[in-house]
Amino acid sequence: MESVLQTRLKEIQIYYSNNKELIHADFKKCIDMLYSEACSLQQKEKKGPIQFLSISYLQRCIFTKKHEVRLDLYDKDFYLDKCKTTQYWDMNFLFHFFEQDMEYFKNHIGKLTFQIKDYEEKEFALWYITHYYKIAELFFRDHINDMIHNEFSVSLKRCEDFKVVFGGYMDEQTVLHQLREE
């Protein structure tokens, strides 16, 4: 399995390198829409200062094959923020490799055993996709500046303790960046 991951990582790097501008433009568009929506809500005094930019992967992708991450701007109440500001960004540029790996494992294991039960395949997929979430986390760590400095960020009211966090939706999240405004 490690050899599959190492080979796949090289393929991901090549694909990313060849499509970097398109991927960045699409991500920037999503972030701009998120910030624009929050700025508009703040101008109407419907949304308070932002404390968290949350990037969440969604476990449902194992079942739906739609590999989006959820981007939210939350106030100090985080998930309890009364005024939701959300965008979804399709990360198929990364997760289509995950789907290829799953097909490979399904075919490879299928030759070794009689039949894999559906729940066994889903359990394996939930475990295996964590490797891809770590790659996604690296992408977001590399793009912190794109997420906190854009044309709308000047207008956005933020808390002094603004954080960018990453993790599963409604699950524990890791702080990728913390901005302390002086």
Which stretches of 113-158 are DSSP H helices?
118-142, 144-148
Summary count for the chain: helices (H), strands (E): 5, 5
| Side chain identity at residue 122, one-letter code | K
Is the distance from CB of 144 to CB of 162 less than 8 angstroms? no
Alpha-carbon span 106 to 115, nearest angstrom: 10
**Residue 72 CB burial class (10 angstroms; 0-12, 13-18, ≥19):** buried
**CA distances to 34, 83, 86, 87, 157 from 45, in Å:** 17, 11, 17, 20, 11
What are the start-end ranges of the H helices in 50-91? 61-64
pTM: 0.89
Q: Would you mind telling me the total number of residues written for the chain in this entry?
A: 182
For residue 111, the model assigns a pLDDT of 65
Looking at residue 180, its pLDDT comes to 67
Helix axes 2-43, 92-112, angle to 10 degrees: 150
Residue 91 has what DSSP assignment? -
53 touches 164 (CB < 8 A)? yes
Looking at residue 182, what is its pLDDT? 43
Low-confidence ranges of the chain (pLDDT < 70): 1-2, 110-114, 180-182
